Structure 1
Amino acid sequence: MKTIPLIVLILLIIPEKITAQNKQERDSILLIISLTKVDTVKAINYLELSNLTMYNDQKKTFTYLEKADSLYKISKNDKGIAKLYAQKANYYYRLGKIDSARHYLINSVEKSLHAFDTLRAAVIRHNVGILDHYQGNSSSATEIMKTNIPVFKKYKDTLHLANAYLMKGKIAISDGYYNIALKETYSALKLRRSGKDDFRIAEDLLQIGIIYQSTDEHEKAIEILNESAQLYDKTDSDQSRAQALNYMGVSNIKLKNYEHAEENLKNALLISEKLDYKANIARVYFNWGNLELVRKNLPEAIVFFERSLTVWKSIGSPNNESNNLFYIGKTYLAQKKYLQSINYLNQSIAIAESTNDVEILRKAYLEKSLALEGQNKYKESLFSYKKNKVLNDSIFTIERTNATQELKIIFETEKKEQQIALQEKEIVLLEQKAKVSNLQRLLMGIGLLLAILGFYALRQKMKRNNLEKEKVDNELAFKKKELTTHALHLAKKNEVLEGLKQKAREYKTSSTGQSGYQQLIRTINFDLQDENNWENFSKYFHEVHKGFNSKAQQKYPQITTNDLRLMALLKMNLSSKEIANILNISVPGIKKARNRLRKKLGISPKESLEALIISI
């Protein structure tokens, strides 16, 4: 398998630039946590804090994640736990602990599916595919992309659909299918440009630049990588900018632009060390070692290769370890330090055999044969050379097979695209035939439709007439009710006044006028408080306004009998003074009663109490 530059893992959370605004946000989140008593709310906010500190304070990040974990264990919230596991995966990846990152990603997928969140499960599963590809398991990564793409299309998630195309491009690069890789990556770029997402556009351009670099088109690669770096700088994406600068350094080395290459690598290393971005630190050290190697600064080259090897070992990337060991052995060979050279080359060969990295094996056996020849061990040297020859033939066969396979894939893809295009044409023809048929049906149905429309218009007119008549009848009935209510009220008032008039005449001629006057007052009071009088009035009222009390009590069960009396008088549109006289209380008392009623009915002072009661 051809060795290629490894692409950085892009997890769910994009790095943020730590600013004063982030500090304010952390303070606000901590305040929310201190005030809330809801465990899930606390847990969500601890995850937010871990996101803010992920790239500048690993200890705090771990503390926040552990607090969120303990809270989610209590609440058993599957969606929340899925997010927690995804964030833990990001944390462990940042530490270079790939196996731990993969473990939490898989758990996150399971929790998301358990919570019936298919889309989120696909998003996280995508990251498992990235890790699998990162560790050389392209077949697993391919299967994951095949599973995910239909899900993203179903949910019309263009962001993650583009990510899947980008990942297919990465897999094609690792398989040596550069034409397919370019096509898949440009498919991703097309989706990105439609969304005007500068960060994602830069991501796609980075991969396109790497493809051109892999096919030795270094000037084109530098042009595209430079555009990618500028977009990363524009979006404050320092981690990704460091990658672009690193790859620009590689192409500048190939073009023998050594000063530019050193500047690229120096800037990439500065950013990567600031962010503690281990994978890119390892890549920069390796490329700097190559720079010193071509400059013939061999001791310096070994120093950089050793540094790169140390970081790759801490991360756990066998292919990169094997590659670094090979270059250290190659550099010692250039110094004619044959024993050291063979030692490192043997280590490289051992790892390459375990990972089946034919490209490294081929190169390592050739360098080993030269080192053995330098020790005058010609027989062993010949053996290593023969191994190199066999591997060369094998690689040539693989390359031919890959080329044939790529052409086959391209042919089959184009064939499928042609079939789809043909099917689309057939669909268009069928739709056109259907339109002609529909037009005929339309013409045949116009006469019937006109008849139906005429009948419908007549029916609607009759319906409108009936509605207007019903409206007039209702208005007339309402006015009759109002008139009846007014007449009842007037009759009651006249009845009371007539009784008072008669009593006054009697007391005028009576010798006990004073006592009669007191009796008259008691009679008036009795009349005002007489329950029978109210019951008679209530009887008349309900004959006019049927069902008022039952509707009111059903809608507002908290109202009392006194409330109903007040509501009845308000429905008659009486003034507060008139209501006060009837209920034998003061006008201020009526105002208080109205306020109490408003509260029970749940209306504000700005809303009309009378309008609400009249509507019942």
Structure 2
Amino acid sequence: MDFVWTKSFLTYKGSYYTMDIIGIFLNLNQYDMKTITTSILFFLLPFCWATGQNKMNIDSLLSVLNIQPLDTIKVKTANNIVNYYMYRNPDKAKEFARMELQLSTELNYDEGVSLAYYQLGIVYNNLDKLDSARYYYNSSLDIAERIENKVHISQARRGLAILEFSQGNLNKADSINNIDLDFTIKQKDTMGTALAYDFKGTINQNKGYYSIALANVLKGLKLFEKLQDSIRIADSYNHLATLEHNLKNHQMAIDYNKKALAIYEDYNDTYYQAQALNDIGVMYKSLKNEKAALSYFEKSIVKSKVAKVSALEAAALTNMGSTYIQMNEYQNAIEHLNQSIEIASTINANRRIAIARNKLAEAYISLGKPKQAKNLLAEVKKYALDTDNMSILKNALKLESQANEALGNFPLSLKSHKQYLELSDSLLNLEKIKEIEELRIIFQTERKEAEIALQVEEINTLNAKAKVDKLTKGLYAGGMASALALSGLLVFGYRQRIKKNKIAREKQEEIYKQEIAHKKKELTSQTLHLVQKNTFIQELMENLENIKNSPEKFKMEFRRMVMLLKKENASDKDWEVFKTYFSEVHNDFDQKLKTIYPDISEKEIRLAAFLRMNLTTKEIAATLNVLPDSILKSKYRLKKKLGLDKATDLNDFLNAI
């Protein structure tokens, strides 16, 4: 079955579009009022990109681009437009990437040239023109290394790693990605690190190291959630879906992919929609739900054509053909598989051609046309042997044995069958070796991480010692110089220092007092919560002991425990006490909410308070004894009641009150 690999590791999607604010406003006198208004709009737009979660008004971006003077800000506007079109309209993305390159070249703006080359690399990669993509990635990397732009170095490396991956060079891709992972960790580049972990998961998944793959994808997902990047979270869901499918958890895989699909649809991201729709179809086929599978493949083909990505269209057509074979509708299968081969041939996607030909041979054998099947299988075997693709070769040998049997050539059929069995045993042994290798890699990784942690601790200790030594030497040298240069003013300087130190000490003491008071309030709040919980647990334990010692008291004690649980779950009185302490620490937060929104309920205030404390959805759900989905719905309703739009983050809004 032909899964489509997503290219979700390519872009930061706007994480480096900072603005020269002073430059904008210094130049406002060159424009009329309309221009000033548009410039202010342009100032606001990049912040939407920086979140990685807000959709862009392309008309506004294009309007800004048309009126801007030739400067680096105009280059960044063009880059934002490229990002908008990248997975919506590749031709438009290419057009504006070339404009970005031209503007940057005219300005001798190396950073812009590097970024434009990288964007062109992505465009050509998405269009399956890998040689052009490699040229632009390398060009971007050369400039980025010369100007020492860390972000551009990382992204260009990632692009080159993806090219190796797409051509089946997994070890080379992994090697480049490992360099990038170490680099981003040292640079404290959270987004880059998350992308590298996520890509490492995909590489190991294709190697068959599912445990390592799962661990890395989850590491990436955790960082994406920390960054609150919806698109990246969706990409991680997609990769987790593929892993669950490989582990035969098909329904879980479908659930993950549908979550990803909903986000891609919300962002009008046609490329990712096509990929997710194809993968969902694969999973429904595995569940023998052919009708649902065909429906998703058809939708994937439509989106692939919109995105102009032939590889996705070819993959979906192959999967449709395979599904029709499963339904014994061989003519339909042949029609779709031939379409797939025709499209894949236009982009030299030889692996996809070989997979489709294997399926086509299977259909011909089922229709009683073994000669046509053998002709196809001869080409498949040649490709598989040339590229050392044993999985495709195994399927071809199995089908070749069946074709020879149908032709009555039993010696050749037996020969092919023996070769098939030998290769199957070899691949099975490789799987066992993979399992052992996976355990070895896990052990080495854990040991390496422990060593790195120890080295970091030693480095921190040495740095701290060096700072102390430097400070001591600096004070000594400074003291000697002051004594020689200012000996005549020693008494006056001494008195002034005493006065200044006293004032500074008094200010610092006041700050400490305020901090201590604040911490005491927080501590009281937390203590109250712990006392309540401990009291409840103690009472529950006593009731359990009573039941244990006197079984005849079961009914009465059981009722008491139920009442205790209800009391603990509701705990309205406890909430009021907790709310009092919370208000003191957070400056009457609940009263402010009631003043601004008079119709807000007590439950909504409670949820807002927990969000103000930066509790996660899972933590809030555990505290209120409800499911996380219930909290997500409550957050949605709260956001609606507060009148917030999609672009406004609920936590940021509450923290600002």
TM-score (norm 2): 0.60
For the Cα contact (< 8 Å) 2:88–2:268, is it kept in 1?
no
1:412 deviation in Å? 2.8
Q: Aligned partners of 1:25 and 1:427: how far apart in 2?
A: 47
* 1:272 CA drift (Å): 2.1
* Corresponding residue number in structure 1 for 2:111: 79
> 2:57 is matched with which residue?
21
Q: Secondary structure at the match of 1:139?
A: helix
Residue 241 of structure 1, aligned match among 251, 256, 273? 273
- In the other structure, the counterpart of 2:218 is 186
Tell me, which stretches of 5 or more residues in structure 1 are unaligned?
A: 435-454, 466-616
Conserved in 2, the CA contact under 8 Å of 1:50 and 1:62? yes
Displacement of 1:46 after TM fit? 5.0
Shift of 1:29: 1.0
- Give the direction of change, closer, same or farther, for the CA distance of 1:102–1:426 in structure 2 (3 Å limit): closer
What's 1:96 paired with? 128
Residues 288-324 of structure 1, C-alpha deviation per residue, up to 9 Å, x if partnerless?
A: 1121111111111112122222232233333222111
Work out the CA distance in 2 between the residues paired with 1:165 and 1:400. 25
Indicate how the Cα distance of structure 1 residues 254 and 31 shifts in structure 2: closer, same or farther if over 3 A, else same: same
- The residue aligned with 2:7 is 9
1:346 equivalent in alignment to 2:378: yes
| Letter in structure 1 aligned against 2:398 | L
% identical aligned pairs: 26
Partner SS for 1:216: coil
Partner of 2:354: 322
Equivalent residue for 1:400? 432
Please tell me the residue identity of whatever aligns with 2:57: Q
Alignment correspondent of 2:304: 272
> How many Å separate the matches in 2 of 1:261 and 1:210?
16
**In 2 relative to 1, CA 369–218 (structure 1 residues): closer, same or farther, beyond 3 Å?**
same
1:247 CA displacement? 1.1
Give the alignment's Cα RMSD to 1 decimal: 3.4
- The amino acid across from 2:291 in the alignment is E
Superposed, 1:359-370 pairs within 5 Å as: 359-370=391-402
- For the residue of structure 1 that corresponds to 2:57, the secondary structure is helix
Write the mapping of 1:477-496 to structure 2, written as runs, cut at 5 A.
none
2-structure distance, mates of 1:345, 1:188: 41
**How many residues align structurally?**
436
Report the equivalent of 2:634.
none
Structure 2 CA distance for partners of 1:112 and 1:178, relative to 1, 3 Å: same
Kindly state the Cα deviation for residue 14 of structure 1 after the two structures are TM-superposed.
5.2
Change (3 A) 1:19 1:230: closer
Cα drift, residue 414 of structure 1? 3.8
Q: Distance in 1 between matches of 2:6 and 2:329?
A: 29
Judge conservation of contact 1:108–1:124 (CA < 8 Å) in 2. yes
Which 4+ runs in 1 deviate beyond 4 A?
Answer: 13-20, 40-76, 415-428, 455-459, 461-465
Question: What are the Cα deviations for residues 488-508 of structure 1, in whole angstroms up to 9, with x where unaligned?
Answer: xxxxxxxxxxxxxxxxxxxxx
**Is 1:460 the counterpart of 2:458 in the alignment?**
no
Q: How does 1:28-427 map to 2 (within 5 A)?
A: 28-32=64-68, 36=69, 47-54=79-86, 61-70=93-102, 72-416=104-448
Shift, 1:27, TM fit: 3.2
Amino acid of the structure 2 residue aligned with 1:8: T
Give the C-alpha shift of residue 12 in structure 1.
2.3
With over 3 angstroms needed to count, the CA separation of the structure-2 counterparts of 1:185 and 1:66, relative to structure 1, is closer
- Find the residue that maps to 2:302 and give its secondary structure: helix
Q: How does 1:470-509 map to 2 (within 5 A)?
A: none
User: What is the Cα deviation at residue 123 of structure 1?
Assistant: 1.5
Distance in structure 2 (CA, Å) of the matches to 1:424 and 1:117: 24
Q: TM-score, normalised by structure 1?
A: 0.64
**Unpaired runs of 5+ in structure 2?**
15-48, 466-489, 501-657
Point out the more displaced range, 375-384 or 297-306. Answer: 375-384
Mean alpha-carbon deviation: is it higher for 272-281 or for 363-372? 272-281
Deviates more, 1:166-175 or 1:234-243: 234-243
Question: In 2, Cα distance between the equivalents of 1:251 and 1:462?
Answer: 76
Q: Output the CA distance in 1 between the equivalents of 2:164 and 2:497.
A: 74
Do the aligned residues in 1 keep the contact of 2:85 with 2:92 (CA within 8 Å)?
yes
Whole-angstrom CA distance in 2 between matches of 1:200 and 1:20? 17
Matches within 5 A, 1:412-451: 412-416=444-448
CA deviations on 1:78-109 (whole Å, 9 max, x unpaired) are: 32221121122122223221221122111111
